[in-house]
Amino acid sequence: MSSTVSRVHESWRPLINLREAESQNLVPWKVSPIALALSGRANNTDRLLITRDREVIAVELWARPIIRQERVRGALLVLTDITDRRRRESHSDALNRTKVLVSRDAGRSEVAAGILHNIGNVINGASVADSMAKMILSRLKLEGLRGAGRLLATHQDDMAHFLELDQRGSRLPEFLSSLGEHSMQIRAQLDLELDAILDRVDHVKRVIGSYQRLSTTRGCFERIPVGELIDESVTIVRGDGTRGLPLFEVERFTDIEVVVDRSKISQILVNLLINARDATLSGPKRDAPVVIRVDADEAMASLRVIDRGVGITKDDLRSIFSYGYTTKGTGRGIGLHISAIAATENNGNLRCHSEGRNSGATFILALPRYRATILKPGRDPDIDPLRQDSTHDAS
């Protein structure tokens, strides 16, 4: 054995004390690359460590048996010092993990910013409704009502004479009737404005509630109806329904369920809906609705967000999911990148289609369906719906 090692290079004698790169445990001799080669089996690996001059070195080992007259006479070993390569890979992996974490945080920040923006819209709408209510109240003819009351109080002792013979008194019933009709109209208008304020306050509650649910379910895969995911995301993005913003039209199969991380998928949908809304407002058909359509096969559910906005060129389509790539003047190129990563982490994928400038765009989010029939035996689908026999990646 020593002669075999020495023929490769004198400095590689520590080869008989190979260690596994991950665990740093000694590799048992029987399963070591050298022993395998001496038993006639060629092999190679780059997951080994050796110690040379008290320095730990990462190596790639290529081992081949030397066979003469149908017998193994020795082994040919080729070692490559890959320590620098491992350091570069480790550094690159660390940078990639940091980039993913930063992207996720930025994506969540964008969702939070969208929520705050929409809540701000709601509050502005409530402020407008409040101003309208004050203006409506100012139109109440309270001075006239007070004047009529004073006249009646002044003529308490001769009320009949005042109402029949006095010109002011004879006109008072008609005035009070007209004032009553006017007050009823004012009341109806006030009811509308107060209902608008209550609707906006209720919408704020729904938005905050949706985000609270996302915050408490992060990192947990669960069985969720697609319609519920869509409703939550539309609630977050919709704002207060201010005129001029595109509508969201939902076409869906209500019985489709998926197995996903609610937080990540809602983050994807919110990002897609915001992008579709902005693209519509910047396109030639500002009043066109954003359509959310759901279809499915046996394995996957596809959620399509369709807009008729500015569209995407072929060149932009090639890089649309790349980190830092954006077509918005104020964008950071993070949202779609992290959305694509999150879709993959949920055993799905995110795709985009567009015919070009001013032709709109369709983003397709494919997610694994829940299928109770293929759960492993003994699993309670209401407790653990995630353990499926197989997963499917949409093409």
pLDDT digits (tens, 9 = 90+) for 272-316: 998 898 888 888 888 889 999 999 888 999 999 999 999 999 888
d(CA 290, CA 133): 32
pTM, two decimals, is: 0.49
11 has a pLDDT exceeding 50: no
Whether 141 and 224 share a structural domain: no
Whether 243 and 326 share a structural domain: yes
pLDDT of amino acid 193: 80
207-214 long-range contacts (CB < 8 A, ≥24 apart) are 207/115, 207/118, 207/119, 207/122, 207/235, 207/236, 208/115, 208/119, 210/235, 210/236, 210/266, 211/111, 211/112, 211/115, 211/236, 213/262, 214/262, 214/263, 214/266, 214/267
The Cβ-side half-sphere exposure at 133, using a 13 Å CA radius, reads 16
- Residue 159's domain comprises 95-202
Q: Which DSSP symbol is given to 16?
A: G
Whether 180 and 142 share a structural domain: yes
- Residue 390: other Cβ atoms inside 10 A: 8
Whether 100 and 64 share a structural domain: no
Whether 46 and 112 share a structural domain: no
Per-state percent for the chain, helix, strand, coil, to nearest 5: 50, 20, 30
352 has a pLDDT exceeding 90: yes
Whether 253 and 127 share a structural domain: no
Whether 117 and 193 share a structural domain: yes
pLDDT of amino acid 304: 94
Whether 133 and 242 share a structural domain: no
Whether 50 and 115 share a structural domain: no
Q: Which DSSP symbol is given to 389?
A: S
CB 366 within 8 A of CB 349: yes
Whether 192 and 48 share a structural domain: no
- Which two three-digit tokens encode residue 180? 């009553």
- The count of domains in the chain is 3
Cite the DSSP H helix spans in the chain: 2-8, 33-38, 83-138, 142-154, 159-165, 167-216, 226-238, 262-281, 314-319, 335-345
Which of the listed residues 202, 236, 260 is the one where a domain comes to its end? 202
**Which residue in this structure is represented by tokens 């001029």?**
244
Which pLDDT tens digit goes with each residue over 56-72? 888 888 999 999 988 98
Within 8 A by CB and 6+ apart from 120, the residues are none
10 or 26, which is more confident? 26
150 or 383, which is more confident? 150
